[in-house]
Amino acid sequence: MSAADHQRFEEDIGAYLLGALANGEHEEFERHLATCHVCQDELERLKGAADALPRSVAQYEPPPSLKQALMEQVYAETAPEQAPRRSLAERLGLAGGLRRLTPQMAALASALALVVGVAAGYAISQTGGDSGGTRTVAAMVDSARVGAGKATLVVPDGDSGAQLRVSSMPRPPAGRIYQVWLQHGDRIVPGPLFSVDRNGNGAAAVPGSLNGVKQIMVTREVARGATHPSEAPVVTARV
């Protein structure tokens, strides 16, 4: 780096710390900064003052709905093996909605029992089978709610990297999306979101291993995903 090069940038440090460089200039200054010890020292000297600026603002409470929306998204993106090791009730309690959601969870539990015990009203879309190291798990579809939809769970050897595939499924209602759920024992962990194309085809990669997973379920949830199922599953695949 030449002295002339430094001279070109030396007055930029204040603007850089205040976020006042335009986009291209910002990156250009950072490239210079990486090689210029004078600017690095100056940055170190002035950074504390810039960091203090946000402390000057009046403090306000963010609305609880902001945290709720944020954490719903976070839980929807949480890998099953990293999902909370506490019970579902604890998790919902943390989200502040336990009392409100308890009836929904009761409804889900009832629905699961119904799925297991009563085949009427459900179509078994495909029987299980092995093919080339991959097994296909039968999925039950609630034909009363999603018509002629079909679903299969394709599980590679090793039980990791499974994929849930659906076909002839109706698009979820406006503002809703399909969400996958994984049931480990009595815990139900949120999984990925997916939609379907105009032919009703869609797929979702099931994160992690299926080891310990009892069932894979699908419900229709708000577009950003949910931390808990809000309805009985429309698709259920017993692993």
Partner 1 sequence: MGAGSPPRLGPQVSPKDIHLFADEELMQLVRNGDPRAFETIYDRHGGAAFSLAYRMVGNRPAAEDVVQESFLSIWRSRTRYEAERGSVRSWILGIVHHRTIDSLRRNLVHERRRTSAEGIEERHEAPERTDVEAVRRDEARSVRAALDSLPGEQNQVIELAYFGGFTHSQIAEMLNMPIGTVKGRMRLGLDKLRRQLAGELA
Q: Can you give the binding site for partner 1, defined by CB under 8 A? A: 11-15, 17-22, 45-63, 66-67, 69-71, 73-75, 77-79, 82-86, 90, 94
User: Least Å distance between CB 198 and partner 1?
Assistant: 29
Enclosing H/E stretch for 65: helix 64-76
Measured between alpha carbons, how far is 214 from 43 in angstroms, rounded to an integer?
55
User: Least Å distance between CB 161 and partner 1?
Assistant: 18
Amino acid residing at 194: F
User: Least Å distance between CB 196 and partner 1?
Assistant: 25
User: Least Å distance between CB 27 and partner 1?
Assistant: 13
As given in the structure block, the two tokens for residue 50 are 């810039």
Nearer to partner 1 by Cβ, of 14 and 158: the residue is 14
User: Least Å distance between CB 210 and partner 1?
Assistant: 19
Nearer to partner 1 by Cβ, of 200 and 212: the residue is 212
As given in the structure block, the two tokens for residue 203 are 């797929």
Measured between alpha carbons, how far is 14 from 21 in angstroms, rounded to an integer?
9
Nearer to partner 1 by Cβ, of 62 and 132: the residue is 62
Nearer to partner 1 by Cβ, of 88 and 137: the residue is 88
User: Least Å distance between CB 21 and partner 1?
Assistant: 7
Pairing of strands 150-156, 134-142: antiparallel
Measured between alpha carbons, how far is 96 from 13 in angstroms, rounded to an integer?
45
As given in the structure block, the two tokens for residue 57 are 């603002």
Nearer to partner 1 by Cβ, of 55 and 198: the residue is 55
Contacts of 117-125 with C-beta under 8 Å, sequence gap 24+, read: 123/150, 125/149, 125/150, 125/151, 125/152
Nearer to partner 1 by Cβ, of 61 and 127: the residue is 61
Enclosing H/E stretch for 28: helix 23-35
